[in-house]
Amino acid sequence: MGTVPKPGEAVIKIQAAALNHRDVWILKALYPGIVEGSILAADGVGTLVHSGSSSLKVGQRVLLPPSVGWESDPRAPDSNRYGALGMLPLPGTLADTVNIDGKEIFPCPEHLSTPEAAAIPLAGLTAFRAVFTKSEIQKDQHVLVTGVGGGVALFALQFAVAAGANVYATSSSEEKIKLAVSLGAKGGVNYKDPDAIYNLNKLLGNNQLSAVVDGSGGELFDHYLGLMKRGGIITQYGQTASRKGVTFTMKSVMKHVDLRASTMGSRVEFKQMIKFIEKHKIKPIVSHVFNGLTQENMDKAISVLDAGQQAGKVVIEIDETPRSSKL
């Protein structure tokens, strides 16, 4: 149950882990750079059993970062040691314990349940960087978050709402649009509706979008520009609905609209995000919780993600039986 910590390493007894699409791709061997023997999952919350170089105390509840080796550069990872948890040489959180450099862990906000806390790291960090560092979203702006239902999109929605922006959402599910509205969105449209852009324009009234946070590059993508202000920003953290990429046109150039790229974030951004979640008492949206790290639970959890049935994060609570989910 866990290896002996190296100098400086903290040891965390995992209470819960959350899954990401990334884990599904790794299981399907579709993820680049995959290493056999990796332990899955980048998201974890647990109890500190050995402090290492951390100033936190044994017994304290801590959040693990989804990646390590990216200190502070706002543009991109600033070291070659950069990597995400859930792939060797780094540990995965679907395990009883994780050893990690003590400086990488942070106290877990107290208002969160264990599954809520586990939901945060990867999706929360990706959303935080996409919303603030890249899209520069501010109070009173009108902004669009696409594909709510996904973990990153829901965090992006919650963060933008908490920052005082007027947020609009898209989804293929009326349920998920209702969820978005219940979280503070001004409204949403079904992207499968042929009138989606017309409806979105109507929702906006006389306002124009300052930012779009998008993870898909789906069919509506080319229409966002027409709804945007001069100088707006589109940030993409993925392209799940576009194998060939998206198009950047002369109209974007004339309108000063940037197309920005984002994935995960730095340790500085992770720290800012935890503070922001604490300040605004944000409750992450947990879709499914499976209790116990069993093969059956893993199969169920992966199939939920694979079918896109979730609205929010899929969490595995780790039971007391020593084991881990290895490739």
CB of 231 to a copy of itself, least distance (A): 3
Q: Does position 248 bind a copy of itself by CB under 8 A?
A: yes
CA distance 153 to 127: 7
Q: Identify the residue among 247, 291, 303, 309 touching a copy of itself (CB under 8 A).
A: 247
> Nearer to a copy of itself by C-beta: 8 or 231?
231
> Nearer to a copy of itself by C-beta: 6 or 244?
244
Residue 227 is given by DSSP the state G
What is the x/- site pattern for a copy of itself, positions 220-239, by CB under 8 A? ---------xxx----xxxx
**Closest alpha carbon to 241 in 183, 172, 288:** 172
- Per CB under 8 A, contacts with a copy of itself among 251-290 are 252-263
Tokens matching residue 248: 């950047």
CB of 225 to a copy of itself, least distance (A): 10
CA distance 259 to 313: 27
Tokens matching residue 77: 């990872």
- Report which secondary-structure segment, H or E, holds 253: helix 250-254
Q: How many residues bind a copy of itself (CB under 8 A)?
A: 31
> Nearer to a copy of itself by C-beta: 60 or 208?
208
217 Cβ partners below 8 Å, 6+ apart? Answer: 236, 238, 239, 240, 241, 242, 245, 246
CB of 276 to a copy of itself, least distance (A): 21
Which phi and psi (to 5°) does residue 326 adopt? -95, 150
> Nearer to a copy of itself by C-beta: 53 or 247?
247
- Per CB under 8 A, contacts with a copy of itself among 106-135 are 134
Q: Identify the residue among 73, 195, 306, 319 touching a copy of itself (CB under 8 A).
A: 73
CA distance 289 to 127: 22
Using DSSP bridges, classify how beta strands 9-19 and 228-236 pair: parallel, antiparallel or unpaired.
unpaired
CB of 111 to a copy of itself, least distance (A): 32
> Nearer to a copy of itself by C-beta: 222 or 317?
222
Q: Does position 139 bind a copy of itself by CB under 8 A?
A: no
Tokens matching residue 208: 């124009």
Q: Does position 250 bind a copy of itself by CB under 8 A?
A: yes
CA distance 192 to 133: 30
Residues at the site binding a copy of itself, with contacts judged by CB under 8 A:
73, 75-77, 134, 229-231, 236-239, 244-250, 252-263
